[in-house]
Structure formats: C-alpha cells, structure tokens
Amino acid sequence: MATINASVTISSDISSYPTSISKEMSMTKSANPSVGLEETTGLRTKKFTATTAAVIVEADELTDDTAHKVYIRNASTNRANFFYVAYNASAAGAAIAETIGKLYGGDWMLFPYNGSTNITVASSTATETQYLEYMVFADGIEAAKG
C-alpha cells in the first residue's frame, strides 16, 4: 500500500498570543480512507516567459473524485513576481471569480481537488522568467489520451 504523508508547521509571534500549529495528514482514497493514494502525475516544472494563462492540470487527466491533492510551488526567488492560480478557464487577472489567489516567489500550496475542473496559472510578469513546480497526488488517473 502506498503511503503519502504531508505536514506543515506554523509558528507566529504577530499577536500577544503566540501561535504554534503543527499538523500532519495521510493522503487517502475517498472511497476507502484506510487505503493511501496510489498514483501521481509526477513532479513537473513549467517555465513562464509571458503572462498568458496556462492549464497545468486538465480535468480529464484525472478521475472525478474528491481525494486528489494538488501541490504547487512558485520556484522563483523574486518575491515581487507571482502566479495567479485559478480553477477553470483563466487565471489572467485578479477579478476572475475562479481565482484562488496569488502565489509569490518561494510560496507553495497544497489543496484538495475533485478532478472536475482545470487548474490554470498565469505569471504576473513577462519581463522575468518564472518557474512553477506542481504535482497531483491522485486517487485515479485517466488512461492516456489517444
């Protein structure tokens, strides 16, 4: 049985009550939570030299399910540049309803994904090359398209 574990530790002193959070999660199948996720799209890196939106995860690449997890990291070191991350057709602007948010240089995210919509990103800059790293941990991957 495959085992995929994720952990995050957050500590903060920004308020008069310091915060410390440490959580772990085993990624499991939705139909059988005692069985770990067994598939992945593999770790991918994409180079961006323009602000054109690009689909990084296609809805038909995965089986419709609620157990998938998506990892995305802005591999750039420049904090001034970011990626818009969105569900569905376009991430090219902050006003788009499906936009999840902005991922600044060095930032990363891990979120649940049901496999029913595209995940799209767009670079905030066309003057500096940016790199995005991403991977889907999946309950099921569709057969290769022909």
Encode pLDDT of 99-120 as tens digits: 889 999 999 999 988 887 889 8
Report the pLDDT value the prediction gives residue 96, as an integer from 0 to 100: 45
Q: How far apart are CA 10 and CA 22, in angstroms?
A: 6
pLDDT tens for 25-36 read 888 887 777 778
- Closest to 12 (Cα-Cα) out of 22, 4, 27, 23: 22
In percent, the amount of the chain with pLDDT more than 70 equals 87
- Domains of the chain, each with CATH number or no CATH: 39-138 (2.60.120.10)
CB 62 within 8 A of CB 136: yes
pTM: predicted TM-score of the whole model, two decimal places: 0.82
**Residue 141 in tokens:** 């991957």
Please name the residues in contact with 95: beta carbons below 8 A apart, sequence gap of 6 or more: none
What's the CA gap between 45 and 33, in Å, rounded?
30
Q: Report the pLDDT averaged over residues 32-43.
A: 81
